[in-house]
Amino acid sequence: MSFDFTVRTMRDLADAVQRFGFLPLFKNSVPGFSVEEHAAPAAWFGGGEGVWEWKGPVIREAGCAYGKLFEKKAAFVSREWFPELANYRRDGYDFDARCDDGLAPVRERELYELLEANAPILSKELKRLGGYGKHGRRGFDGTMTRLQEQCYVLTSDFVYSTDKSGSAYGWGVAEYTTPERLFGADFCREAYRREPAESYARILAHLRSLLPEASEDALRRLLR
């Protein structure tokens, strides 16, 4: 499979996610492996509709995972491949088991439990419920990033404010959920059917086939 594409439309982006399985949004350890490096200028920098506005529709249309999944940066992962990534990153633990074994820090446990009880939930509402903010608790972004990298939390959509005529404006606000809520019971069955090391090996082999010129160190750095 050749990692050769250009994003000019929302359909191009959705098709690329499905075709490649893993698609980081921004430049990373693997040169050329991002939407940023393959987007047409008008789709990346344009003042009208582009990649930034297409993220939510692509998540919904492609039925894929999206979140800060690689090197603390956003990425799309197809429905087919996300259970493998979750199994590897979770090391075979669902969140309750991680808590039972004392592996989840208090801050992560509190925020995850609050999110799980209210998912799907906008980031600004989750911050409010958790008491985060300028004059409140700190560390929201860092904790959410760790939960996403461990594949316990995903962004399920981006919600925009609307004016009196119903037109969207401004930046979309992230809506968070859990993979279990987004993908249902099938995800739980698929995510743990292999040993975590086997999932890692499958992902690494797929990325090697996709990016034959990438160094082994770069691929492993991306996945860790």
- When divided into structural domains, the chain yields a total of 1
Q: Would residue 119 count as lying in a domain? A: yes
Q: Would residue 2 count as lying in a domain? A: no
Whether the bond between 120 and the residue before it is cis, its omega within 30 degrees of 0, is yes
Give the model's pLDDT for residue 187. 86
Q: Would residue 136 count as lying in a domain? A: yes
Closest CA to 2 of 218, 217, 209, 220: 209
Single-letter residue type at 218:
A
User: How confident is the model over 171-216, as pLDDT tens digits?
Assistant: 789 999 999 999 998 887 888 999 999 999 999 999 999 999 999 9
Q: Would residue 142 count as lying in a domain? A: yes
Q: Would residue 205 count as lying in a domain? A: yes
Q: Would residue 1 count as lying in a domain? A: no
Q: Would residue 215 count as lying in a domain? A: yes
Domain assignment of residue 137, given as a range? 10-223
Element (H, E) at 190: helix 185-191
Measure the N-to-C terminal CA separation of the chain; round to a whole number of Å: 24
User: Average pLDDT for residues 72-82, to the nearest whole number?
Assistant: 97
CA dihedral in degrees (119, 70, 3, 215; nearest 10)? -160
pTM (predicted TM-score) = 0.94
Q: Would residue 4 count as lying in a domain? A: no
